[in-house]
Amino acid sequence: MKPFAPADPQRFQMALESFDAANAADPRRIAVDGVATPYELAYARWLTDWVLRLAPAASEPLRLAARCQHLRRWEIPRTNFPATRAGYLQWRQRLKEFHADQAGAILREAGYDEATLERVRALNLKRQLATDPETQVLEDALCLVFLERQFAELAAKASRDKLIGALQKCWGKMSPAGRAAALKLELPPPLAALMRAALEPTAAQTQS
């Protein structure tokens, strides 16, 4: 496998550094290897890591999309929208558009052409999830970050039924490669038990 070589290394590095600088402004902090780190900066690195584990030959647009998927996410809080299912969906849609717009501005400033901007935007908005392999890699990586880094926090405050539903929804979005990676995660015993419970219906359907 040939090592990754961006078309313009300086431009690529400038874009990554600009994404990281934007996410470094996140007021929330999380401990990463004992160091207090801005949450969205850590998230972008986790997502990038999973994308490259799933697709070591990932294209330049996919690498860029992974680094800016949740760009400046804290600026549009959930509390800005009604506490309803419809409000939640409005919030999610607004976030997608916001992230894509913010990323596009940074990429344009770094010197990327409109075709690359549009490709990164399409990946971030997951426009072709059913047909585009790179979009599926990004979706798999998002699900794996959730399972590895965010599921424990949700498990501490949500009901068992809600947790199983979230796991089943996540599983339904993943490709066979993503699912194989998920099954290799070393989850704490209570979370692993929830995963098994969530997948029991899937296993039963496979065997029938």
Residue 178 CA to residue 144 CA, distance in Å, equals: 8
Among candidate residues 172, 138, 124, the one with its CA nearest the CA of residue 52: 138
Structure tokens at 124: 């971030």
> What's at 78, amino acid-wise?
R
pLDDT digits (tens, 9 = 90+) for 131-156: 999 999 999 999 999 999 999 999 99
> What's at 196, amino acid-wise?
R
Tell me the C-alpha to C-alpha distance, in Å, between residue 37 and each of 41, 43, 113, 147, 149: 7, 10, 32, 20, 14
Among candidate residues 66, 89, 54, the one with its CA nearest the CA of residue 180: 54
Mean pLDDT, residues 157-168 taken together:
93
Q: Is the pTM of this model over 0.85?
A: yes
Structure tokens at 119: 């490709």
Band (201; pLDDT cuts 50, 70, 90)? low
Among candidate residues 41, 58, 22, 36, the one with its CA nearest the CA of residue 138: 58
pLDDT digits (tens, 9 = 90+) for 2-32: 789 999 999 999 999 999 999 999 999 999 9
User: Cβ(144)–Cβ(50) under 8 Å?
Assistant: yes
The DSSP secondary-structure symbol of 7 reads: S
Band (204; pLDDT cuts 50, 70, 90)? very low
pLDDT digits (tens, 9 = 90+) for 73-98: 999 999 999 999 999 999 999 999 99
